[in-house]
Amino acid sequence: MTDRALTELKGVGAKVAERLASMGLVRESDVLFHLPIRYEDRTRLTPIQSARPGQWVQIEGTVIDQHIRYARSRMLIATVADDTGQVILRFFRFYPNQQRMLTEGQRVRCFGQLRWGNAGLEMAHPQCAAVGATPPPLPTHLSAVYPTCQGVSQPLLRRLIEQALDRLDHGDLVLAELLEAAKAPMSIHQALKRVHRPGPDDDLEALIDGTHPATQRLAIEELLAHHLTIARQNQVRARYQAPALVNEADQAQALAQRFLEGLGFEPTGAQQRVIQEVLSDIAQTQPMRRLLQGDVGSGKTVVAGAAVVAAAAAGVQSAIIAPTELLAEQHLRTFQQWLEPLGLEVVWLSGKVTGQARQNALSKIEQGAEVIVGTHALFQAPVAFDRLGLAIIDEQHRFGVHQRLALASKGRAGTRWPHQLVMTATPIPRTLAMTAYAGLDVSILDELPPGRKPVTTVAMSQQRRDEVIERLRQVLATGRQAYWVCPLIEESDALEADAAETRAQELAKALPEVAVGLVHGRLKSADKQAVMARFSAGELSLLVATTVIEVGVDVPNASLMMIENAERLGLSQLHQLRGRVGRGSDQAACVLLYKPPLGELAQQRLEVMRETTDGFVIAEKDLELRGPGEVLGTRQTGMMRFRIADLGRDADLIERVHALAQGLSATVTDQLIERWIGPAEAYIEV
Ligand code: ADP
Ligand code: MG
């Protein structure tokens, strides 16, 4: 099958094509892979007598009455009878041709959902067609119902898919033998026909939830195409060069050693291992693309520090970006503290650095300052590096692939690319990591710094807030510090800030002896920084905050956290927030305040939080409760948007995919990539 643009199909003009494109439907293969959300069974007629309310049925009979009722608006009402009974059809809106069709004596076929009305069985807005004296034969397969959008109607999609399916017969049968070996002995054509036009006895549930052999056949091929794409990308990448730190490797090791000795603590075994992995990567001329996964508090920043030091020793610049101002500012302080004693210059750039300060930062970056810390501002247009050799993205699940590439490409010169280190605390279940991050090498920090005790977690109704405040008073009296987190669910910084402000005032009133601070997204950068610095220094004992503190914030003396509205947060967000405490050697605690009554899902989430502090277990549970799209974050899915496959459901196919990929010819590989991923320029990324 050679793919065509949809504009070559009947009934697709420029305007329609544009609307289709907005749904991601551009080529013939796109509509073929646009799967139904449900099916309608029009293969049989149901005698009216045996039809039940709630059922979707097709009936055939004669119109015995029609009238228009004038209530609030015009309503068309018709009665259809067969030999066994009668049904009322109601149309709250109708066209003249519907009214003409439903005249007395006309034979009609109607499909709709039945319900009980005042006058017996009725259907609202059924789909009706007039049938003559000799009714046309019933279809032999079920009718598919597709996801639609404004301007792309169901009948239009059906027509396009029909055309595409009919052309399939004349196509080739790529891979039939291979898939036989994969125990999915069905050609892609058979699979597509099965999914779009199942027979009346097919397992519809399996077709919809994707466990049907036909859907599985499509999923395996899609996963295979992705796998092959990644392998292709790796080949392309092999032609790129990174600044080779080979000659300077000894020097880099030595400086990294000095850096580690200056830390004031012993790196964990996991940190040492991962640091060596990174150092040996960047001693290659092949650009490093490494993902560092480590649970909250596992000490990823130290690894980043060692990499930066090694890069500086080799005479190239490093850029570190973080998703929030707050976290980036914290990195700035950390790196200044670690690196300035080694004689390295650390430059700060965020969107809030303006005027002369911005000019200064930009010119330092251009003149080759060794270390640049910042936010999104770093990959925006006017920033030009002298020699960017290492790009580090912290909390990378908060960024899109394009943002990662935008930063890396700042260090591009011809075929030269910088090394890339991406770090995340959002653990990805092993089953997903392989596919979601295929193409990245993965390092795991699987050890927490010594002396950490798991955070004790309790869930409490917010009605017991007074008790919680009392406990807070006792903890703070011992000299420890605490967070009070007020997440609001509305997507508004302003509302969230207001709620936090109100809560801070209440708490200050209830705890007059306590120094209370407040931080939220609407504060000016300098003010935020000042509050954080005072909390860090222990001048403030209680920090009321919005979810701006969710990522990265590190104040080891803080050992108690209260989270309001906990029932409305997802597992990974709760885990991230809770990770702000338990970073010192004190026993830490987390109180999840919820508003009763708890829904079933919320109850399960809080239960998981109480039972474990292991990020991987939490991620697996999250996957179970939510599905992979959300676990990986919506932005993340840009990296692995599947049409049919579902990594949660199809994890067991992945191994087979790897086996299948062995020994495929270049032609077949081309065909598969073209079919599922599109033309080459659409997928090449580095
Ligand atoms: P994360 O992996 O969540 O980014 P951080 O890098 O912020 O973790 O480290 C968490 C805290 O643990 C920091 O205060 C850091 O200084 C400290 N830390 C990191 N490594 C060690 C270690 N090996 N021993 C003791 N403390 C450490
Ligand atoms: Mg961190």
Q: Which helix (H) or strand (E) holds 39?
A: strand 38-40
| 353, HSE (Cβ side, Cα atoms, 13 Å) | 21
Q: Work out whether strand 38-40 and strand 419-424 pair parallel, antiparallel, or are unpaired.
A: unpaired
- Cβ atoms within 10 Å, residue 516: 21
Apex CA 649: angle with CA 645 and CA 650, to 5°?
Answer: 55
- Measured in Å, residue 156 CA sits from the centre of ligand 1 at 57
**Per-residue pLDDT, 639:** 44
pLDDT in tens, 210-242: 889 899 989 988 888 888 888 887 777 777 777
Is residue 142 scored above 90 in pLDDT?
Answer: yes
Q: Please tell me the least confidently modeled range out of 175-189, 242-256, 500-514, 642-656.
A: 175-189
pLDDT in tens, 504-539: 999 999 999 999 999 988 888 788 888 988 999 999
**From the alpha carbon of 296, which atom of ligand 1 is closest?**
3
**Per-residue pLDDT, 305:** 96
Atom 19 in ligand 1: residue holding the nearest Cα: 299
CA distances from 246 to 278, 310, 414, 426, 668 (A): 13, 11, 20, 32, 39
User: Average pLDDT in the 489-496 region?
Assistant: 60
Nearest ligand to the CA atom of 304: 1
Share of the chain above pLDDT 90, in %: 43
Instruction: Name the amino acid, one letter, at 194.
Output: R
Is residue 62 scored above 90 in pLDDT?
Answer: yes
Q: Which residue do the tokens 């700035």 mark?
A: 332
DSSP annotation of 455 reads P
Is residue 309 scored above 90 in pLDDT?
Answer: yes
Atom 21 in ligand 1: residue holding the nearest Cα: 449
**Per-residue pLDDT, 362:** 94
User: Average pLDDT in the 60-81 region?
Assistant: 92
- Measured in Å, residue 352 CA sits from the centre of ligand 1 at 27
Residues 6+ apart with CB under 8 A from 676: 29, 33, 221, 222, 225, 226, 643
Q: Which helix (H) or strand (E) holds 481?
A: strand 481-485
Question: What's the token pair of residue 588?
Answer: 């830490």
User: Average pLDDT in the 246-257 region?
Assistant: 73
Q: Please tell me the least confidently modeled range out of 69-73, 406-410, 460-464, 630-634.
A: 630-634
Atom 23 in ligand 1: residue holding the nearest Cα: 267
Apex CA 114: angle with CA 110 and CA 120, to 5°?
Answer: 105
Atom 27 in ligand 1: residue holding the nearest Cα: 449
- In the structure, which protein residues have their CB atom closer than 6 angstroms to any atom of ligand 1? 265-268, 271, 294, 296-302, 425, 449, 552, 554, 556, 583
**From the alpha carbon of 266, which atom of ligand 1 is closest?**
23
Atom 5 in ligand 1: residue holding the nearest Cα: 299
> Considering Cα of 494, then 498, then 499, then 503, what sign does the dihedral take?
positive
Question: What is the 3-state secondary structure of 384-451?
Answer: CCCCEEEEEECCHHHCCHHHHHHHHHCCCECCECCEEEEEECCCCCHHHHHHHCCCCEEEEECCCCCC
CA 503 – CA 545 distance, rounded (Å): 9
Confidence band of 68 (pLDDT split at 50, 70, 90): very high
Tell me what the pLDDT averaged over the chain comes to. 85
User: Average pLDDT in the 10-27 region?
Assistant: 88
User: Average pLDDT in the 647-661 region?
Assistant: 79
Is residue 332 scored above 70 in pLDDT?
Answer: yes
User: Best mutation site among 298, 301, 324, 331 for ligand 1, i.e. most ligand atoms within 8 A of its Cβ?
Assistant: 301
CA 468 – CA 461 distance, rounded (Å): 10
User: Best mutation site among 580, 583, 613 for ligand 1, i.e. most ligand atoms within 8 A of its Cβ?
Assistant: 583
Q: Closest by alpha carbon to 632, among 457, 433, 442, 470? A: 433
Question: What's the token pair of residue 160?
Answer: 């396009």
Share of the chain above pLDDT 70, in %: 89
Domain ranges in the chain are 44-138, 250-445, 456-612
The arrangement of strands across the sheet holding 388-393 comes to 346-349, 371-374, 317-321, 388-393, 419-424, 289-294, 441-445
User: Is the distance from CB of 328 to CB of 480 less than 8 angstroms?
Assistant: no
Q: Which residues pair with 114 in a beta bridge?
A: 123
**Per-residue pLDDT, 576:** 86
Length of the chain: 686
DSSP annotation of 478 reads T
Question: What's the token pair of residue 238?
Answer: 């092999």
**Per-residue pLDDT, 638:** 35
- Measured in Å, residue 501 CA sits from the centre of ligand 1 at 30
User: Average pLDDT in the 583-612 region?
Assistant: 90
Domain 44-138 has CATH 2.40.50.140: yes
User: Is the distance from CB of 511 to CB of 473 less than 8 angstroms?
Assistant: yes
Of 3.40.1010.10, 3.40.50.300, 3.50.50.60, 3.40.50.720, the CATH number of 456-612 is: 3.40.50.300
Instruction: Name the amino acid, one letter, at 594.
Output: Y
Is residue 647 scored above 80 in pLDDT?
Answer: no
Is residue 429 scored above 70 in pLDDT?
Answer: no
Instruction: Name the amino acid, one letter, at 245.
Output: L
**From the alpha carbon of 302, which atom of ligand 1 is closest?**
6
Q: Please tell me the least confidently modeled range out of 213-222, 413-422, 437-446.
A: 437-446
User: Average pLDDT in the 10-24 region?
Assistant: 88
Is residue 395 scored above 90 in pLDDT?
Answer: no
User: Is the distance from CB of 271 to CB of 294 less than 8 angstroms?
Assistant: no
Q: Closest by alpha carbon to 535, among 396, 335, 548, 425? A: 548
Q: Closest by alpha carbon to 684, among 224, 288, 229, 241? A: 229
Question: What's the token pair of residue 181?
Answer: 């070996």
Q: Which residue do the tokens 């590096």 mark?
A: 385
Of 3.40.50.300, 3.40.50.720, 2.40.50.140, 1.10.3720.10, the CATH number of 250-445 is: 3.40.50.300
- Measured in Å, residue 361 CA sits from the centre of ligand 2 at 24
Say whether 456-612 and 44-138 share the same fold.
no
